[in-house]
Structure 1
Amino acid sequence: MGGAMLSGWLAQGLDASRAAVIEPYPSEDIRAHLAKGVRLNPSPQDCGSVAAFVVALKPQAFSEAAPALKPYVGAATLVVSIMAGTTMASLAEVFGGHVVRAMPNTPAAIGRGITVAVAAKDVSDAQRETADGLLRATGLVEWVSDEGLIDAVTAVSGSGPAYVFLLAEELARAGVAAGLPEALATKLARETVSGAGELLHRSDLDAATLRQNVTSPAGTTAAALEVLMGKDGLQSLLTRAVAAATKRSKELAK
C-alpha cells in the first residue's frame, strides 16, 4: 500500500528527491522509483527535517520496527499511519504528537481507493490539509472525528476488496457447477463483477435501484435473489463477516 501511495504522489508531480523510503526489503516497484530520485534507507541525519512521515507497515511488525523509525520524526513532523488496529495513542507513544490515522484499501493501486482518516487534536489545519493531499493521491478521502469508527471502516472498505474478489471466485465456481467450461465461467464472473462495479461507480443511482433495474418480476434474477436475500443469505453472511473483521481490528490494538 505504501508503494501504491508513493506511485500516486510521483504521478501527481511530487519531486522524487523529496521522498525517501525506509524499507529493509524493498520490492521491485519501490526500486524502480530510485531511478527517479527517490532515496532508499537514508539515515535520519541525511533526511534532515521531515515534514510528513507515512507509516505503512503490517501492524504486527510495528513494535519491532518503531525504535528504528522514531529518529526520523521531529517535533513538528506529521505522522500518517495506514496500519490496521494501531491506535493514535500507540502511535503518539512512539512518535509524539501530530498523528493522523488512516485506513485506505487496495484499489488505491489504480487511483480508485477510498480512505477514511481521523486526526489527533494537536494536528493543525495545515497538517490535516497535507495529510488529505497525501491520501487523496490514491482516491477519495473521508474524514471522521471518532477514532472508534476506524475498526468498522477497516472491516467494510479496508477488507472489502477481498469480499468482492471472493464473489468473483465463487460466481465462477457456481458457473462451472451449472455446466459452463471453467475458463468461460471465470471470464464471465470477472467481467461481470468488474463491469457492475464500474456501472455502480458511474451511475447516480444507488445500489438497490440498480439491482431492482436488473430484476424482472418472476424472472431468473428474481429466482437467484430469493436465495441470496433469504434468511441465511448474503446480508446475514456479510453482517457476520464485517463483525468478525471489526473484532479482529480491535484485537490488533491490544
Structure 2
Amino acid sequence: MDKVAIIGAGKIGEALISGMVASGVDPRTIVATNRSEERSAYLRETYGIEVESDNRLAVADADAVVLCVKPAQIVSVLEEINDGLDEADDAAVIISMAAGITLTAMEGAVASAGAPIVRVMPNTPMLVGQGVLAVAYGRYVSDEQREGVRTMLGAAGKVVEVDEKQMDAVTAVSGSGPAYFFLLTEALIDAGVSLGLSRELATELATATAAGAGSMLQANPDPVALRAGVSSPAGTTAAAIREFEESGLRGAVYRAAEASAARSAEIV
C-alpha cells in the first residue's frame, strides 16, 4: 500500500504505526490525524510519519484508511471523510478498529456504492506487538486488498479471519480477554500479600508467572495438558484447582464471556 491514513492515532493507532515502521514500512507513506497538536508532533518526531489535522485531507489518495476512533464516532467520521475518499482514483479500503459497528452500518455511511470495508477487533497486547486482530471482510474487498490488510495488521500481532457474525464472541474472548488475565493476576497479587509476601514481591512473582505461562501457551496451545503438567497428584496445585472449581470459576468465565458478547451486540 502506497499510502495509509490512520484516523485518530491514539494508543491503538500508535501501536499499528509502531509495528508497521518496525516491519520496514516507509514512515513517509503513513499519515496520522489527532486532535492534539502535541500528540501529532510526538508521532511525527517518534516515527517519522506525516501528520495532518484535517481528516479529509489525510485520506486523499490513500490506499487504506484505518479508523481508530471510538465506536460512537465511526459513522460521523465516515460521513466527514466522504469527500476525501471520492477524490481518489481507486477506492481505498476502509478498516474500522471499533467494537460493535457493523459492516452494513459503515457501508451505509459511505457515499460511494461498493466501498471496500473491513471490520477488525483488536486487543491491547498489540501495544507490545503481541495483539490478536480478528478480521471480517466486507463484500467489496478485493483479494489484493485482503492481502494488504493482512500484511499491515500482521505488523501488530496475529491476524485471524472470521465471519462477521462471530465478532461478538471474538470480542468476548480476545477483545476483552486481556482484562480477564489482568484481573486474575491482580487477585493473585492480593492473595500473596494476604499470605505474608510484600506487595512488591507478590507483584514480581505473579506478573512473571503470567508472562511465562503465556509463553508456554504460545509454544503449546493445549491448556489442559499444561495444567496437568503442573498438577501433581494430591499436591499443592491440585488443592488450589479444586478450590477454583468448587468456587465456580469456570461458570463465572462462561457468564463473563456471555455478558461481554451481549454488550458488544448492543453497541451501535
| One of 7, 16, 32 as aligned partner of 1:5 | 16
Counterparts in 2 of 1:47 and 1:244: CA distance versus 1, 3 Å? closer
Aligned pair 1:93/2:108, yes or no? yes
Contact 2:171 2:261 in 1 (8 A): yes
Root-mean-square deviation (CA), in Å?
1.9
Indicate whether 1:31 and 2:41 are aligned.
Answer: yes
Q: Which amino acid aligns with 1:160?
A: G
| Per-residue CA distance 1:97-127 (angstroms, 9 max, x = gap) | 2001011111111111111111111111011
Structure 2 residue runs without a partner (length 5+): 1-11
Is the contact made by 2:75 and 2:105 (CA closer than 8 Å) also made in structure 1? no
Matched, 1:135 2:146: no
Correspondence for 2:68: 56
> Residue 229 of structure 1 aligns to a residue in which SS?
helix
Pair 1:103 & 2:121 matched: yes
Q: Indicate how the Cα distance of structure 1 residues 26 and 238 shifts in structure 2: closer, same or farther if over 3 A, else same.
A: farther
* Structure 1 residues 21 and 220: CA distance shift in structure 2, 3 A: same
Distance in structure 1 (CA, Å) of the matches to 2:148 and 2:67: 15
The alignment's TM-score, normalised by the length of structure 1, stands at 0.91
Q: Deviations over 1:112-169 (max 9, x none)?
A: 111111111111101111111111111111112x211001101110111111111110
- Per the alignment, residue 185 of structure 1 pairs with 202
Q: Note the alpha carbon deviations across 1:37-65, whole angstroms, 9 max, x for none.
A: 42232563575311100011111233444
AA aligned opposite 1:8: G
Q: 2: CA distance between counterparts of 1:238 and 1:26?
A: 42
Residues 219 and 47 of structure 1: CA distance in aligned 2, closer, same or farther (over 3 Å): closer
**SS at structure 1 position matched to 2:91:** coil
Q: TM-score, normalised by structure 2?
A: 0.86
1:17–1:39 CA contact under 8 A, matched in 2: no
Q: What is the identity, as a one-letter code, of the residue corresponding to 1:44?
A: R
Q: In structure 2, what is the Cα distance between the partners aligned to 1:250 and 1:133?
A: 28
Residue 215 of structure 2: SS of its match in structure 1?
Answer: helix
The verdict on how the C-alpha distance between 1:46 and 1:241 changes in structure 2, with shifts beyond 3 A counting, is closer
With 91-100 and 3-12 compared, the bigger mean Cα shift is at 91-100
User: What runs of 5+ residues in structure 1 fail to find an aligned partner?
Assistant: none
Say which SS state the counterpart of residue 116 (structure 1) adopts.
strand
Q: Is the 8 A contact 1:104 1:116 kept in 2?
A: yes
Question: Aligned equivalents of 2:205 and 2:126: distance in 1?
Answer: 25
Distance 2:97 2:37 in 1: 18
1:89-168 to 2 correspondence within 5 Å? Answer: 89-95=104-110, 96=112, 97-144=115-162, 146-168=163-185
Q: Percent identity?
A: 37
| Aligned-partner residue type, residue 222 of structure 2 | D
The alpha-carbon deviation at position 27 of structure 1 amounts to 6.8
Cα distance in 1 for partners of 2:34, 2:85 equals 16
1:200 corresponds, among 207, 212, 217, to: 217
